[in-house]
Amino acid sequence: MKVYINGKFYSEQNAKVSVFDHGLLYGDGVFEGIRAYHGRVFKLKEHIDRLFCSARAILLDLPMTHAELMEATIETCRRNKLNDGYIRLVVTRGAGTLGLNPNRCSNPQVIIIAGKIQLYPPSLYKKGMEIVTVATTRNHHNAVNPAIKSLNYLNNILAKIEANTAGYEEAIMLNAEGYVAECTGDNIFILKDGQMFTPPLSSGALHGITRGTAIDLVAGLGISTAEPNMTRYDLYNADECFLTGTGAEIVPVVKIDQRVIGNGKPGPVTKKVVKAYQELTKVSGEPIAKR
């Protein structure tokens, strides 16, 4: 594997950053997870757009332009001969002191890793996933804003630990008001009486790229998506449920907190959304091969 760091490519063994980097010491940085399908990088512009938004929110000046980051991402895929896979684009604050002061950091580090990912067992995509609500509350907007895709993911990891300890792959996180926010790494959708619902971004849900794609695909099926505040009651009484995320893609959910969703199998609309997503990834994205 060849890893991109600040304009150069290194072997996996030699890809290194300073132990004084604030990304390591304090989670001070931003990242994107991006997918490649069939020789194309899917939704690359949208991912880089969101990276810039996250960086702006933490007052981090990205050392490369939007176009340069897109090209570096594509070139990393080329160097690794990646046609289908997962790309992790990371920008750290750079090396600094042992203190918190970000002004003492210099040279933000741009790191791009192109490889593979499998978040959930393949069987769960066919039979559907069982998930559970956990006690860990989603970050408050005035703390670490959930809209920022930062390197500090401990909030999500704590929720994932709770889920795993309870014997589940994924967990629902509620916000400080008790409304449904999102899962540890995915956005959540439900279908009820022919209409799709997903928590509003103001609930603590990430501005998911796959979330937006799913809303568009559902609209293509003639189904509108509303974004009201939702409680667990709404989830329990859903006709269908699925999760969306770049790494996870689209995952059917068949049971929440031991409540069976619908008939306990992936629903017909969910299956249509999965198929539409797979079709879209075959024809959409930035080509990896040089033209």
Query: Which residue is it, tokens 């959540």?
Result: 188
Q: Is residue 286 part of a domain?
A: no
CB atoms within 10 A of CB 76: 24
Q: CA torsion sign, 34 to 36 to 42 to 48?
A: positive
Residues 91 and 134 in one domain: no
How confident is the model at residue 103, as a pLDDT?
A: 94
How confident is the model at residue 120, as a pLDDT?
A: 87
Residues 167 and 84 in one domain: no
Residues 199 and 262 in one domain: yes
How confident is the model at residue 247, as a pLDDT?
A: 94
Residues recorded for the chain: 291
- CA-nearest of 33, 110, 104, 15 to 64 is 110
CATH value at residue 52: 3.30.470.10
Residues 127 and 61 in one domain: no
Beta bridge partners of 42: 35
Identify the domain containing residue 63 by its residue range.
2-115
Residues 76 and 205 in one domain: no
Q: Are strands 2-5 and 29-37 parallel, antiparallel or unpaired?
A: unpaired
Q: Which of 43, 149, 275, 282 is catalytic?
A: 149
User: Do residues 221 and 273 touch, judged by C-beta distance below 8 A?
Assistant: yes
Q: Which of 75, 91, 115 is the last residue of a domain?
A: 115
Residues 169 and 252 in one domain: yes
In order of 38, 100, 107, 214, 289, the CA distances from 280 in angstroms are 11, 44, 38, 11, 19
- What is the residue type of 112? I
pLDDT tens by residue, the chain, 291 residues:
999 999 999 999 999 999 999 999 999 999 999 999 999 999 999 999 999 999 999 999 999 999 999 999 999 999 999 999 999 999 999 999 999 999 999 899 999 999 998 888 889 999 999 999 999 999 999 999 999 999 999 999 999 999 999 999 999 999 999 999 999 999 999 999 999 999 999 999 999 999 999 999 999 999 999 999 999 999 999 999 999 999 999 999 999 999 999 999 999 999 999 999 999 999 999 999 986
Q: How many domains does the chain have?
A: 2
Q: Is residue 290 part of a domain?
A: no
How many Å apart are CA 185 and CA 258, to the nearest integer? 21
Please say if 2 is a catalytic residue. no
